[in-house]
Amino acid sequence: MIKTLLFSTFISLVLSACSLEPVQPWDRDLLAQQKMQLVADPLEIYLDEHTYFSKEASSGGQGVGGGGCGCN
Amino acid sequence: MFSRLPAFFAALLIFLALPIFATEPAPDFTLPTFPDNIEINLKDFKGRVVYLDFWATWCPPCRKSFPWMDEIHERYKDEGLSIIAVTLDKKREQIEQFIKKTEPAFIIAHDPTGRVAKTYQLRAMPTTYLIDRNGHLVMTHTGFRSIDKERLETIIQEQLEK
Amino acid sequence: MQLKKRRQDPRNIRHQLAAATCGLLAGSSHASSLIASGDNWKIDSALLIYAEKDRVSLAEGVLSISKEIDDDEFINARIVTDVLTGSSPNGAVPSSTAQTFTNPSGNSTYTEAANSTPLNHTFKDLRNALNVEWDTPLSRSLRGTLGGNISREYDYLSTGISASLAQDINQRHTTLTVGLSVNKDTWDPVGGVPVGFAVMPTYPAKKALDGANADKTVKEILLGVTQIINRQTLMQINYSRGQGSGYLTDPYKILSVLENDGSGNLRSTNPYIYENRPDQRTYQSLYWKGVHQFPNENVLNLSYRYFWDDWGIQSHTVDLRYRFDFDGGHYLQPHLRYYQQAAADFYRQTLTDSEETTLSYASADYRLGEFVTQTIGLKYGFEFKNGAEINFRAEMITQKGKDRRADAVGLLQNQQLFPDNEAYLLQGGLSLDSDMLIKYIMRFFK
C-alpha cells in the first residue's frame, strides 16, 4: 500500500518536471526558504543516513564521503 | 571647401555628444513607498544623485547592505544623495518585520510583481543602479560584499561632486 | 491552526552536497534559518535515541557550529558522540539446542538458548567523530567545498577528506556538481583479525589470525545536476560511484556450518566459521530528489535511489516527507520511507560441511540479505520569532527479512532464519545562534 502511494507520488512529480519555466531572480523567494532546500535539516539527514548505513547494505546518493564507523 | 563644413560640424557634434551616448537615461518608474503607499516617480528626483537598490528580506547580502546604506544616507543626504531601496518581497508582513528591526532612514519602495525590476533588466539580487543628477544610469552593481563598500562610496562621491 | 504565517527564514539557494554514510555531511552546514554572519556563530544540535527490540540501543549527540568568515564563505565543525549497547546477531542460525560461542577476545564464552537467534553481546562502544568543512565562493557562479573527517571507536578508526565543486549555469536555474572523497579506515578488532573461513575455536583455543589490524580504503565520486523547475519546485539527480578495497569483512561475524546430510544439524566439529567477503567492492547509485511547495505553503520532499554493486546487491529506496505549516511557527512533518534490498551473491544463512573449501566468499550478516525496511515517522517543530528552532521526531522502523529457502535445511525449517527487527527512533533538535545563547546564559545567571 505504502509502495503504491510512494511510487504514484513519484511519477506525478517527475511528470511535473516536463514544464520548465524560467524563474526571475525576484521570484526566488520560495526557493530561498529553509524548508525548500534539498537538505532542509542537515542533522536529521545525517542521523538518518547513519542509522540506515548501519542496518543496510546501501549508502549515499545525496553526497560523497563518510565511511567512518565499524558498524557496517 | 565650404561644402565640407556641414560634415565637419556634424562630426564635431557627434564627438561632443559621445559622453552622453556613453550613458543612457535611467528608465522612469512610479512605485508606492512602504509602508505608507505614497507614489513616487524617478523623474521627481532629477537634480539629485539616486542610489536605486533592489532587495528582498529573503536575500542575505541584501540584508547585510542595510546598515551600510544607512551610513551612506546619513553622510551624503545633504549633499544631494537620495537612496531608494525597492523591495521585491511579496509579503508585506516580512518587510514590516525587517523594517522594524533595521529602521532605515532612506526611502523604501515596494515592487511585489517585479515590474520595475524587469524594466531595469535585473539579473541578480541585490542589484544597485546609480543615477546621476541628469537622470542617466552611470553604474550597475550586482551583489553586496564588504569589499564593495569602498568602491561604491567613491563612485557616489564622484557623482555628487558633478 | 489553519493559517501559515511565515517565519523569517531567508536563504539564498544553496545547492548542497550532503554526504551519506556514517561520517560526513558536506556542504550543508550553513543551510539553516539562522545566518552565521558577522561575529555570530550558528549552532545546531540534536540528541538521538535509537532502540531495537531486544537488540542494539544507541544514544547519539550531535553539535554543529558554523561561522561566516568572509562574504559568503563558511566554516563548519561537527562533533558527534555515540554510545552503543546491546547485542546484534553474530551470523549463526538458531538451533533446537542451546549453543555456545567464544567471545572475540577468546577469553570467555557466551551461550544462546535453544530456538533463539544467537546474539553477540556488543561491548559497550563509544564513538567520537569530528567533521570540519570549508565552503567558499570561487567565482560569481562557482562554489567549492573542502572537508575532512575523523571517527574513532575503540576498535575502528576512520579518516577521510572530500572536495566538491558546484557551478551555476543557465541564469542560475541549473547547478552542476562534482564531488570526490577518499576515506582510509582501520579495523583493530578485539582478539585480532580472524583468517577468512577460519573456525571459531572452542574456548580456550584462540582463533587463527591474519594480523592484529586491517585497513580499508573507500573512494567515491558524485556527479549531480540540480534544476529549478518553477517558482515552487526544485529537483536534483545524482550519479555516484564508489570503490572499497582492503578488508571489507566483518571480523566478528560467523556462519553456521551444517552436516552434509540434509538434517539441518550443525557439523559435529567446529560448526562455526568466520565469514569472508571479497577485498574489492564497486557500487553505484542513481538518486533523484524533488522538493515542491503547494499554494497552501506545505512542502513535499520526495526522493528515490537505486543502488547496485558488484556483490550482487541491489536496492530501491523511496523517501517521502510532507510538511504542514501552521500559524505561529509550528509545523508537523510526517515521514515515510520504504527500502527494499536484494541479497549479495555470497550471502548465505548457513553453509554445509566442506563448502568453505569450495566457496570463495560467504557471509550470514543479515545486512547483506534480502529484506524490506519500512519507516513511518512524525516530526514536530517550532520556529521562534528570532529564527531559533526546536524540533522533535519519532519514528518506527520495521525490517522484514526473507529466509533463504536453500539454507533452511531439515530441522532449520522450524526456525526463523531472518527474524523481523523492530526499532524506534526519537530525536530532539535545537538550533540557535551564539548571540541568543549568550543572552539566555546571562539571563539564567541573573
Predicted confidence (pLDDT) per residue in B6-55, tens digit? 778 877 777 666 554 567 899 999 999 999 999 999 999 999 999 999 99
> Which whole number is the average pLDDT over C18-33?
30
Q: List, for residues A37-63, the tens digit of each pLDDT value.
A: 999 999 999 999 999 999 999 998 888
Task: Tell which residue, C95, C284, C327, B154, has the closest CA to residue A61.
Answer: C284
On whether residue A64 sits in a domain, the answer given is no
On whether residue A71 sits in a domain, the answer given is no
**In this structure, which amino acid lies at residue C99?**
Q
Position C211 scores a pLDDT of 93
pLDDT over 90, % of chain C = 78
Backbone angles phi, psi at C311, to 5 degrees: -95, 0
Q: List, for residues C409-427, the tens digit of each pLDDT value.
A: 888 888 888 889 999 999 9
In the DSSP assignment, the letter for residue C267 is P
Q: Chain B residue closest to C10 (CA)?
A: B58
- Cβ neighbour number for residue C134 with a 10 Å cutoff: 16
Q: Chain A residue closest to B56 (CA)?
A: A26
- Which of B57, B124, B143 is facing C10, going by the closest CB pair? B57
- Residue C162's contacts (CB-CB under 8 Å, 6 or more residues apart) are A64, A65, C19, C24, C26, C145, C146, C147, C148, C149, C179, C180, C181, C182
On whether residue A42 sits in a domain, the answer given is yes
On whether residue A46 sits in a domain, the answer given is yes
Q: List, for residues C237-287, the tens digit of each pLDDT value.
A: 999 999 999 999 999 999 999 999 989 899 999 999 999 999 999 999 999
Kindly list the distances between the CA atom of residue C199 and the CA atoms of B44, C192, C231, C260, in Å, as whole numbers in the listed order. 92, 14, 62, 17
Q: Which of A12, A20, A27, A43 to mutate to test the interface with C (most CBs of C within 10 A)?
A: A43
CB C54 within 8 A of CB A55: no
Task: Tell which residue, C348, C330, C435, has the closest CA to residue C385.
Answer: C330
Tell me how close the Cα of B104 comes to any Cα of chain A, in angstroms.
Answer: 21
Any A CB within 8 A of B89 CB: yes
Answer yes or no: is pLDDT of B160 > 50. Answer: yes
Kindly list the distances between the CA atom of residue C244 and the CA atoms of C2, C220, C236, C237, C260, in Å, as whole numbers in the listed order. 51, 9, 26, 23, 35
Backbone angles phi, psi at C153, to 5 degrees: -120, 175
- Residue bearing cell 542617466: B136
pTM of the model: 0.87
Mean pLDDT score of chain B = 91
ipTM exceeds 0.85: yes
Position C1 scores a pLDDT of 41
List the single range of A61-70, C177-186, C191-200 with lowest mean pLDDT.
Answer: A61-70
All residues of chain A having their beta carbon less than 8 Å from the beta carbon of residue B59 are 32
Any B CB within 8 A of A24 CB: yes
Helices B92-102 and B60-76, packing angle to 10 deg: 50
Task: Tell which residue, B101, B138, B140, B144, has the closest CA to residue B125.
Answer: B144
**Which 3 state secondary structure label does DSSP give C446?**
coil
Give the pLDDT band of residue A10 (cuts 50, 70, 90).
low
Tell me how close the Cα of B35 comes to any Cα of chain C, in angstroms.
Answer: 18
- Cα B50 to the center of its chain, rounded Å: 5
- Residue B39's contacts (CB-CB under 8 Å, 6 or more residues apart) are B30, B31, B32, B33
Q: Does the beta-carbon distance from A26 to B123 stay under 8 Å?
A: no
In total, chain B counts a number of residues equal to 162
On whether residue A1 sits in a domain, the answer given is no
List the single range of C123-127, C379-383, C424-428 with lowest mean pLDDT.
Answer: C123-127
On whether residue A41 sits in a domain, the answer given is yes
Tell me how close the Cα of A34 comes to any Cα of chain C, in angstroms.
Answer: 6
> Which whole number is the average pLDDT over B92-112?
95
On whether residue A63 sits in a domain, the answer given is no
Tell me how close the Cα of C162 comes to any Cα of chain B, in angstroms.
Answer: 27
Strand segments (E) across C38-173 = 41-52, 57-70, 73-85, 87-89, 99-102, 109-112, 119-121, 125-137, 142-153, 156-169
Query: Facing residues of C183 across strands?
Result: C160, C218
Give the pLDDT band of residue C125 (cuts 50, 70, 90).
confident
Answer yes or no: is pLDDT of B2 > 70. Answer: no
> Which whole number is the average pLDDT over A2-14?
66
Position C22 scores a pLDDT of 22
Answer yes or no: is pLDDT of C6 > 70. Answer: no
Give the pLDDT band of residue C203 (cuts 50, 70, 90).
confident
On whether residue A69 sits in a domain, the answer given is no
Give the pLDDT band of residue B82 (cuts 50, 70, 90).
very high
Domain of residue A51, residue span:
29-57
Strand segments (E) across C275-388 = 280-293, 299-309, 314-325, 330-342, 350-352, 371-383
Q: Chain C residue closest to A69 (CA)?
A: C22
Tell me how close the Cα of A47 comes to any Cα of chain B, in angstroms.
Answer: 28
Answer yes or no: is pLDDT of C27 > 70. Answer: no
All residues of chain B having their beta carbon less than 8 Å from the beta carbon of residue C37 are 60, 64
- Cα C174 to the center of its chain, rounded Å: 29
> Which whole number is the average pLDDT over C5-16?
28
Three cell numbers, residue C23: 561520517
Position C26 scores a pLDDT of 26
Provide the b/e sequence for C359-382 (b: ≥16 CB within 10 Å). eebbbbbbbbbbbbbbbebebebe
Chains within contact range of chain A (3+ C-beta pairs < 8 Å)? B, C
CB C226 within 8 A of CB C234: yes
All residues of chain C having their beta carbon less than 8 Å from the beta carbon of residue B98 are 8
Q: Which of B64, B68, B102 to mutate to test the interface with C (most CBs of C within 10 A)?
A: B64
Chains within contact range of chain B (3+ C-beta pairs < 8 Å)? A, C
Position C385 scores a pLDDT of 87
How many structural domains comprise chain A? 1
Give the pLDDT band of residue A72 (cuts 50, 70, 90).
low
Position C414 scores a pLDDT of 86
Provide the b/e sequence for C242-275 (b: ≥16 CB within 10 Å). bbbebbbbbbbbbbbbbbeeeebbbbeeebbbbb
Q: Does the beta-carbon distance from B60 to C11 stay under 8 Å?
A: yes
